[in-house]
Structure formats: structure tokens, C-alpha cells
Chains A and B, each alone.
Chain A
Amino acid sequence: MSLFDWFADRHKTAPVARNPQELPADDGLWSKCPECGLVVYRKDLLANASVCKGCGHHQRIDSEERIRLIADPGSFEPMDTELAPTDPLAFKDRRSYADRIRDSQQSTGLRDAVVTGICRSSGQPLALGVMDFRFMGGSMGSVVGEKLTRLIEAATARRYPVLIVCASGGARMQEGMLSLMQMAKISGALQRHQQAGLLYIPLLTHPTTGGVTASFAMLGDLILAEPKALIGFAGRRVIEQTLREKLPEGFQTAEYLQDHGFVDAIINRTQFKSTLATLLHIHKLNGNAAIGNP
């Protein structure tokens, strides 16, 4: 199934189809950069991986677009599309979790906050997981944990490298401790993948925080990030409250993490696929039992 077919199919089988009237107001011909105000044709912005040509601002992109930028055309085979969230705690804050799920499913056409699958990137096999921030802030509940675990297990079995594109506010509170335990579950699967001598790369995008940072986002053999992405464990407000003073400049940006030794490289999105190709290729040289050599 091609990527296009899959998305077409997904829109058909999703709980409720996307309503065109619910598309964002700026979803027209033109797009204005929220950072520098540059106005460009939307198709030109998309052709530049949604990176502003004026200031380099990386606009948030959804999982569909991210997969298009990483996977070779027609190569993405989605996994576990049938997994959907339930409401194990019957959780209700100002709104019920069930309602929040339904709204996110309707507005995104996704069943939960991650899309996983096997693909080729620049001709090389890759197990790819992409979090989608639009779905409840990319929060990690049971479905995100299960899909990523199955992806990593599949990659271990086939001896594939894993790339997970992170975009998440952390654990999903509405599933309580079940969400927290997904951190352990995914980390356990990564331990086996690592033990098999295979390559794992998380790509940290804006924002990557909380329980995702304290688990698979920080467990890469190589940890890559997008420019200016917010990356951190604790929320800025929480730290400000503890500290009662202003935070240092650039605190919790990708650049800040790189300065402190927690990010290997910051890659412009327009360069990401070619950089990934180089990395995957080099790790296969020298008869290394890694990575996508069956």
C-alpha cells in the first residue's frame, strides 16, 4: 500500500472523517511565518519542509507530512492502525477523556498520538514512529506506548534501525499510572533493540517534554534535534516556581541541550533526510551486523 493510499484509506476508516470546515483559518493559499512575518505561498513553504526561508523557523508539521519528508514515496507500511484508546479510569476533568479522544480523532483523522510503520528512507530500511502533537498534545497513553513497543520489537526481529520523531507534552494524565508505565515498557523494548546491536535514533522536535524526555527521547545511540525545539524534563513554569527567578536565556532549547551534552546534532529539517541517509549508511559499513542488512 502506498503512503497516499494509506492516508486515503485511513481517512475512510477513521472514526469520523475530517470536516473541511474545521481546518485552520490560515489553511489557504498563503502562509505567514509566526516568527518573522514573512508571507509565502503555502506550496512553497511545503516544498521547503515547512521551514521559513526568511528566518529558518521550523513550523509544526503533522505526522502525515513528517512521514512524507522521511520515507521514500510509497514505501511506508503502517503498523497497528487498529489500536485505539479506551478510557480505563473513566476519567473526567472539566471534560471527559472520552470526549477529548473523540474530538482529537475527529480533528486529526488519527486514532491516537503516534503513527508507526516500516519504510525505506533513501533506499534503506527503517522502523519509523512519528508522534503527532495535534492529538492531545502528543501525550503518551497506552496506545502510544503499545504502538512504539510493537514497532521497536518488530525492528529488533527484522534487525532494522529505529527512528522515533518525538513531539509530546509527556505522559497522558487521563490514563493515570498506565501512562507512566509506558515509559518503562518502551524503554524495555529499546534495551532489547540495543542488546541486538541495532541503531536507535530519536529526533526531538518542538516540544519534547516530561515522560517522553525521561524515557525514549533520551535513549538514542544518537540523539538528533530540530533547531529551537523546546526539550526538557520539567515544565518551565514549575521550575520558575521552584526557583523564583528568571530562567537562563535559551533554557531548554535544542541548542541549550547540545551545549550541555545531551543532543548529538541539530539538523535543519530540509537536511534531515540526507543526514539520516548518511548516518544509516555509515552504520552499515565495516561489516557491522547492524542495521537493515538482513
Chain B
Amino acid sequence: MARRALLDFEKPLVELEEQIEQIRQLARDSEVDVSQQLLQLETLATRRRQEIFDALSPAQKIQVARHPQRPSTLDYIQVITDEFIELHGDRRGSDDQALVGGIGRIGEQGVVLLGHQKGRDTRENVARNFGMASPGGYRKALRLMEHADKFRLPILSFIDTPGAYAGVLAEEQGQGEAIAVNLREMFRLRVPILATVIGEGGSGGALGIGVADRLLMFEHSVYTVASPEACASILWRDAAKAPVAADALKITGADLLKLGIVDRVLAEPSGGNHAAPLQAAETLKTALLEELTGLRSLSEEQLLEQRYAKYRAMGRFLDCVSPESTLSS
């Protein structure tokens, strides 16, 4: 297995892992029985890793969420589906590589799957525009979702983007309009929509494929109204305050669960999803199938009504007329 990129807060683990490697080497080169020492060190490393990952700050979670080896949309699709055929293009003149999708089968269940797609390396990231979708990407997503609606295929959407692409061409092609139309039309689709934040959920670019009956989120994923970097430079007038902004913006699964925005947080393997991608995919698959089963018992009317009610209830404000100010949520 290729050595994975280390995050700065993982550094305390490096020494331990090197020791383990040395002892393994020793065991291979000689007949010395080191199994006891090895077990001790490995247990220690596991515990340390668990401690570190249990205590990640929001800013550190962003690093995990952006980890170059964190499983991507296509990685999950490959593991979750028994068959998958990628479908291209928005039928308006473009095929955005930053937002991919297609049709697939999970057991005897047909589904439409789509999501933001980042690259593994610089070359692929350039082709995929670092997962920042263009208007054509959002229109491709809508085309696939319309297809899902027509053939009654549930929609599985995977969110992993720093944000919608900010560029001259994107503005000319109507980035705002493309996202807006998706938000409206996703309330009309008569099939279950499950969205999962698998990495970073960046603002409107994430929401553009994120209106869902159930919103899932991995433990170290983040979902934010504005990137902490942008927020810090606007509100603090200092981009270096990004970690403070990350904390203030309440972007973690636990926070968003409390705010009623996320429905379910999925546990990650020790060391994050990139440490054990197959395990992460199994977690995701199990959760998606459970949620799907729950939603399939609803009539189309109930489904649409519940989806509307879910978003209708989002927000916190004071109602100053009531005898005592009531907090609505």
C-alpha cells in the first residue's frame, strides 16, 4: 500500500509507526519472537490514533475532509454498486468532470448516483477542477435527477466540493441560476433523495445537489455556509483566523445534527476514511440501504410533504409578539 500523506496532527504517530516497522523488519531478518512487543506498540498506536481523531478541532476535521486520499464519489460508487454506468453531459453543450454521475444497481435496486469528484493528483485535479463544479455540472446533475424521477430510481448524491466554481465563464453560463433551479426542482422529484457529505460541503455548490429527504454526513466531513478562509478574511479581515472561523461557523456533523440540518452522522474508521476506505464504503452502503428502506414505505405525496416540512422547519428566530419570546426552530 502506498504511504499515505500525513496530516500535521498525525505526527505523534509517526515515531510509533516507525518503531513498529523497525520491529517488523527485525522479525523478518531474524528468528527473534517480537510478537509481544509488536502487539503492545500496535495497541498503543491504535489508542493514540483514536485519541487524536476523537479530539479533532473543526479546522483539523477540514484537513481530514480534504485529505488527498479520502475516498471520493467514484470510489464509493465502485464499492457500493454491483453495476454502474457513468453518464455524461448536460445536453446543453458541456460535460463537467467535477460533477459525475450515472446509473447503477445495488442488489435488485436501481439507483441514480451522482456527486462532486475531486482528483487524486495534480493532473487529475486540474481536469476535475478540484471538485468545483461549473453550471454545466449542476445541469448535468439535474438531467440525471429528472431521469431518476421519470424511471422511479432513488437518487444517491455525494457532496465533496470546496464550492461551486468561481470564474468568468461560470458566471456567464449562470452559476447562480444553475444552482437555484436545482434547489427548486429537487423539491419536485418524486423519488427518495439521499445526500451524503463524504468530504467537504462548500456552501451553495454543495447544496446544489444537496436538497434531500435524508442528509448524512461522515464524522470528519464538514459542511459550511462559507469557507472558513473566506469567512475569516471578510469578518476578521485576516485569513489567518480561518481556524477560529471554522470553530465559530459550526461546521461539524455533531454541530449540524444539533442544529437540525444533518439527519445522521456516520462513524469513520480509526484514522479517518482514508485509513480504511473499504470499511468507510461499507458503513456508507449500510446506512444508505437502511435509509432507503425507511423512505420507500412512504407514498410519493408523503415523501414530498416530508421533504418540504423538513426544510420548512430550518431556521432559528424570535417571535416578538408572543407573550414570551419563543424560540422557533
Contacts and interface: CB of A to CB of B under 8 A. Distances in A.
Interface of A: 82-86, 88-89, 91-94, 111, 141-143, 145-146, 149, 171, 173-185, 187-192, 194-195, 210-211, 213-219, 232-235, 238-239, 242-243, 247-248, 251-252, 260-262
A3 B179 CA distance: 36
B184 A94 contact: no
A82 B319 contact: yes
B215 to A, nearest CB: 10
Given A181-B314, A215-B179, A260-B173, 14 more contacts: A86-B318, A93-B245, A146-B317, A171-B204, A173-B225, A173-B235, A178-B315, A183-B180, A185-B314, A188-B311, A189-B312, A213-B180, A214-B175, A242-B167
Contacts of B28: none
Contact of B176 (A84, A232, A242): A232
Among B176, B208, B231, B256, chain A packs the most CB atoms within 10 A around the CB of B176
Given A86-B327, A180-B207, A188-B311, A233 B236 contact: no
Contact of B317 (A93, A142, A215, A243): A142
B317 A143 contact: yes
Contacts, number: 196
B311 A217 contact: no
Contacts of A210: 204
27 contacts: A85-B318, A91-B248, A93-B235, A93-B245, A142-B317, A173-B231, A173-B234, A176-B249, A176-B259, A177-B251, A180-B207, A181-B311, A184-B311, A185-B315, A187-B184, A188-B184, A188-B311, A188-B312, A190-B184, A195-B188, A214-B175, A215-B183, A217-B176, A233-B166, A234-B175, A239-B168, A262-B177
Interface of B: 164, 166-168, 170-177, 179-181, 183-185, 187-188, 203-204, 207-208, 210-211, 223-226, 230-231, 234-237, 245, 248-251, 256, 259, 261, 307-308, 311-312, 314-322, 327-328
A216 B225 CA distance: 17
Contact of A233 (B171, B183, B256): B171
B176 A218 contact: yes
Given A171-B225, A262-B174, A219 B181 contact: yes
Contacts of B184: 187-188, 190-191, 194, 219
Nearest to B206: A180
A176 B251 contact: yes
A247 B319 contact: no
A139 to B, nearest CB: 11
A248 B172 CA distance: 11
B224 A176 contact: yes
A182 B23 CA distance: 56
Nearest to A212: B176
B59 to A, nearest CB: 15
Contacts of A141: 315
Contact of A185 (B167, B172, B180, B311): B311
B180 A239 contact: no
Given A173-B234, A247-B168, A260-B172, A88 B183 contact: no
Contacts of B237: 94
